[in-house]
Amino acid sequence: MSSRVPFKPQQVDAPLTQSATFLVLSITDTADAIRTVRSTLASVGDLSKNVSIRDLSASFACTIGIGSDAWDRVTRLPRPAELHPFPEVKGNKHTAVSTPGDLLFHIRSERRDLCFEFEKQLLDTLGDSVKVVDETVGFRYFDVRDLLGFVDGTANPVGPGVPTSVLVAEEDTPVIGGSYIVIQKYVHDINSWRTLKAEQQESIIGRTKFDNMELDDAPLQQQQSHKSLATISDSNGNEHEILRDNMPFGSPGSGEFGTYFIGYSRRLWVIEKMLQRMFVGEPPGLHDRLLDFSTPLTGTTFFAPSASLLETLDDD
């Protein structure tokens, strides 16, 4: 990162918490909608302080993403170089659907009540300028496992590797310090998954279930595991990481079991290539077998501008 370009990033690398709310909104056609949205985004730091001050140990954070269709209207600033709507990815058997969304609020805290209170105050402030597209409440499950029983997020970058993998740098100076975000809401066929033996599940995931040990990659041109298909390298052999903050969600009473995928990346093409490999297959035709048990209901792309940029949105 260049020290000559002053910016303050959003808390895209906030620690994984016990609770999270994923709130996707669309902007309405009311007369003052854009003005209200701009004012709210510019002052969201104050709104966050109003909630987080109630328990400073609760690791409260909120990251804001702006969708491709809303970027020009909301920011009136140059577009991030790679920002475009989420492209549908259609394989022979499974499809990564594309769904609408103008604004994303990724709300996190160790306390569910703080997430609730922030969302309530946020929606009160936005009023009729927005409409809720999707609201999903996630929770940490045991030792950071998904509802399929495997540890999730092991491949995340750590330490100095986080900003390098997540934050846009000098390659796109107008939006330096920002991050691309892709979200997908997956529901799992738990009953079918449970019919598999542990060894079969491990072969699909690419890790052992009990102790999370990585399994060897399959030979080229053969069926690859989810772990292998989600590992992305460029033409020079350099591996590119993304930051996942996935959370389980669901309701046993209604038979809903799912994982909310959210990936932050410095380069949008990395996540899009990952999805191509999963849904189309690598080689083509050999899709990610996890998709036989997990179906995406949503797919939306956002860009999280720096906090410094957000603060300028209310300037006349």
Nearest of 248, 9, 244, 18 to residue 115 by alpha carbon: 18
For residue 21, the SS3 value is strand
Residue 175 predicted with pLDDT over 80: yes
Give the torsion through C-alpha atoms of 265, 268, 269, 270, to 10 deg.
20
The pLDDT of residue 266: 97
Residues 129 and 28: beta-carbon distance below 8 Å: yes
Locus of tokens 């038979």:
255
pLDDT at 6: 59
Q: Which of 102, 134, 146, 152 is catalytic?
A: 152
Beta-strand relationship, 300-304 and 61-67: antiparallel
- Indicate the pLDDT class of residue 284, thresholds 50, 70 and 90: very high
pTM: 0.96
In 3D space, the residue among 71, 51, 61, 37 whose CA is nearest the CA of residue 109 turns out to be: 61
Q: Is 172 a catalytic residue?
A: no
Residue 85 DSSP one-character state: P
* Mean local confidence (pLDDT), 291-314: 96
Question: What pLDDT was estimated at residue 35?
Answer: 97
Instruction: In whole angstroms, give the CA distance from residue 31 to residue 28.
Output: 9
Q: Hey, CA dihedral for 123, 129, 131, 136, is it positive or negative?
A: negative
pLDDT at position 160:
87
